[in-house]
Amino acid sequence: MISKQSSAIWGGAKLADVLELVGIPKSTSAMSAGGKHVEFVSIDRCKEEKGGPYKASIPLSQATNPEADVLLAYEMNGKTLNRDRDHRILLLPRDSSCKKDYKMFPPLVNTRRPQMDFPVQSAICSLEDVNVRSGKITIKGYAVSGGGRGIERVDISIDGDINSNTDIVAKAVDTAANVQPEKVEDIWNLRGVLNTSWHRENHRYHLTFYRYHLTYSSRLYIAYAPLGVDDVDEKTPVVVEKKDESVDRDGEESRLNNVPNENLVSLDPTDRKESEAEKEAWRLLKEAVVTYCGSPVGTLAANEPGDKTPLNYDQVFIRDFIPSALAFLLRGEGEIVRNFLLHTLQLQSWEKTVDCYSPGQGLMPASFKIRVIPLDDTKVEEVLDPDFGESAIGRVAPVDSGLWWIILLRAYTKITGDYAMQERVDVQTGIKLILNLCLSDGFDMFPSLLVTDGSCMIDRRMGIHGHPLEIQSLFYSALRCAREMLASDEGSKNLVRTINNRLSALSFHIREYYWIDMKKINEIYRYKTEEYSTEAINKFNIYPEQIPHWLMDWIPEEGGYMIGNLQPAHMDFRFFTLGNIWSIVSSLTTPKQNNSILNLIESKWDDLIGNMPVKICYPALEYEEWRIITGSDPKNTPWSYHNGGSWPVLLWQFTLACIKMGRIELARKAVNLAESRLYADHWPEYYDTRNGKFIGKQSRLYQTWTIAGFLTSKMLLENPEKASLLFWEEDYELLEICVCALTKTGRAKCSRGAAKSQILV
């Protein structure tokens, strides 16, 4: 059973050429000193070799044979091999896998020589339509053999009950009459490698007609046309005659390049047709793409046809682009994301002033647009025009933009493998500028980042100034990303140390003081106040009277969450979804807390998910509180927009958190709910009312992050392994740093165990 296939085009230097340069002529089979092999030794050391280097050798005759195509590969699909591979040069003898694994036995079993050639083999890569009940099917696949041998023929046969459960079988024979073995039992080996027995694909539906026509080159066959039952003898394999025997090397390569992509990708059973909603979402997402000098650089915030007053929704927002970027990345389209990252980087150092005052260097804009400036009668120039918050209604610096930029850069690198991008000097400088701005000393007493109201997704007054969880969790995530991406040179050493210290202090602080559950509320309920000295238990001098009535009845026994904000004498007990989700995703919270947050969401489903996932915060500010805190904002009325509205863009983030915690069923339930409405409602920006029943009063339609968030959620659910590239596990070393610091005050012993017991709640 083949579940995944991939192909790559390798680039590099021919080993024969390299050896010639160092004085070993082509076609040498032995050195004058007697050496007959070329040995390759890795720089890195590995466990499998008991801490020694990794070694492999090939015969000198093969290494120096100009026809043998032994390649020192430093490029894959046109890109330099990345850091995941340690900038490694791969030794690729033609026809064999690149590592020592082509030995069929572990090193201690020294009974066989390494396998240097491919045995003859074939595989079915796709059946055109598994739902076919009668009529035709197309089978596509490949056949290869090693040692330069061509393929003589490929036999396709059916096996089993043609009306119910049919196997389609492929068998290849090479030009030296080697036959692909029938059963795995005949070629069994200890490590399970090179299992090249006949390939069988089970067909679940009955087939009544087949018609076939296969063409192939000497190395590869591709099936184009359907099979017909009249031509098929059920018992005897069908012999497919070779169509084109005299294909030259170039011809072969072009055929290889012509292998339709679907031949080489997943045969996963979850492969399925896109729903109407997904089809429309992809079309709309592509229509929202903004180009700059002919290249895609981002997506519009909203693309509502006929909207005469788009305000700034016709711009590319940094935060709004994240789900678009992920949708493109998960679909294998990296270019737009790369362009976005590089162009927004240029805006970072833009001249920016509000009333003769400039915000800090390193600030990323909230959004940008492409302005077209006429040069003369015939020519125009396109210019990127950023908004650092000076035009946006909240008139506040978008603190989250730089954090998102770093998070996206890491996601881009992880998904595409393009590590060269993060190593660029301008990109490294960009990361450092953002960090310097966030890590600069101020008047702070706490490790959390001090910001003004509305400096994030909630970009107008909602009482989230000070140290809002919404920003802390993104800050923590961005620090974790940056630590991974900063070049490990002298210049970054101090910065990495600062990041580590901040990460550990931040996680301790948030876990300890922002967390509430039944037990903690009861503790707060009994707090003593007005304690003087550094030994105070009620460190923030919280007055228990401020615990709101709704909270006592609302908080479930089995759940808990991070409160929205904390400052002396004040806890903002509102539940903010983005902050809680990113705490889970980045492991700002402990594994136990992560599960408790999801328990809370599950048990308060009607309040937090309701008719449209996911509520931005709960509960809404009402009456006097609304008047004072929002300044009577008519758009942020109770249960609307930022004040308790429901935001489909939070769906992908919720999905990611659920996948991380193995609670995929919760995400599925939310995505199904959204899918049934978003498409019919024309992809609104947000929904109103306590349980998200109505489309938001002033909500845009065709909001891009709603569309892209939905697509990203679907793709994450289908490829949970991709999701793991986007979240982090607990880092015990960070916890140790923190416990070590606490030890100085005599509070704990310094060890991983102590770290766990101290900081894991």
Integer Cα distance of 38 and 57 in angstroms: 5
Residue among 136 and 635 whose Cβ is closer to ligand GLC: 635
* Residue of 336, 439, 315, 307 lying closest to 389 (CA atoms): 315
Residue among 317 and 419 whose Cβ is closer to ligand GLC: 317
Q: Give burial (CB, 10 Å; 0-12/13-18/19+) of 308.
A: exposed
Sign of CA dihedral 437, 440, 443, 444: positive
Smallest distance, Å, CB 586 to ligand GLC?
A: 20
> Between the CA of residue 169 and those of 122, 156, 172, 241, 715, what are the distances in Å?
10, 6, 10, 16, 31
Residue among 313 and 368 whose Cβ is closer to ligand GLC: 313
Q: Does 615 bind ligand GLC (CB under 6 A)?
A: no
Sign of CA dihedral 737, 738, 741, 744: negative
Smallest distance, Å, CB 438 to ligand GLC?
A: 20
Q: Between residue 290 and residue 329, which ones bind ligand GLC under the rule CB under 6 A?
A: 301, 313, 317, 319-320
Smallest distance, Å, CB 319 to ligand GLC?
A: 5
88 DSSP assignment: P
Residue among 152 and 459 whose Cβ is closer to ligand GLC: 459
184 DSSP assignment: G
Among 222, 227, 431, 457, binds ligand GLC (CB under 6 A): 457
Pair 145, 154: CB distance under 8 Å: no
State both tokens at 494. 């101090």
414-453 footprint of ligand GLC as x/- string (CB under 6 A) = ----------------------------------------
Smallest distance, Å, CB 512 to ligand GLC?
A: 30
Give me the residue whose beta carbon is nearest to ligand GLC: 301
Among 95, 174, 201, 459, binds ligand GLC (CB under 6 A): 459
Integer Cα distance of 561 and 572 in angstroms: 12
Residue among 180 and 636 whose Cβ is closer to ligand GLC: 636
Smallest distance, Å, CB 302 to ligand GLC?
A: 6
Convert 40-69 to b/e letters by CB count within 10 Å (16 or more is b).
beeeeeeeeeeeeebebebbbebbbbeebb
Residue among 201 and 387 whose Cβ is closer to ligand GLC: 387
Residue among 191 and 395 whose Cβ is closer to ligand GLC: 395
Residue among 146 and 323 whose Cβ is closer to ligand GLC: 323
Smallest distance, Å, CB 521 to ligand GLC?
A: 30
Smallest distance, Å, CB 399 to ligand GLC?
A: 12
Non-local (6+) Cβ contacts of 749 within 8 A are 739, 743
Smallest distance, Å, CB 318 to ligand GLC?
A: 8
Residue among 313 and 702 whose Cβ is closer to ligand GLC: 313
290-293 contacts: CB < 8 A, separation 24 or more? 290/316, 290/370, 291/370, 292/339, 292/343, 292/370, 292/382, 292/384, 293/382
Smallest distance, Å, CB 685 to ligand GLC?
A: 7
> Between the CA of residue 407 and those of 294, 434, 651, what are the distances in Å?
26, 12, 18
Q: Between residue 627 and residue 656, which ones bind ligand GLC under the rule CB under 6 A?
A: none
Number of residues that bind ligand GLC (CB under 6 A): 7
Q: Between residue 697 and residue 716, which ones bind ligand GLC under the rule CB under 6 A?
A: none
Sign of CA dihedral 592, 464, 688, 626: positive
Q: Between residue 489 and residue 508, which ones bind ligand GLC under the rule CB under 6 A?
A: none
**Bridge partners of 504?**
none
Residue among 155 and 320 whose Cβ is closer to ligand GLC: 320
* Residue of 165, 194, 190 lying closest to 181 (CA atoms): 194
Footprint of ligand GLC (CB under 6 A): 301, 313, 317, 319-320, 457, 459
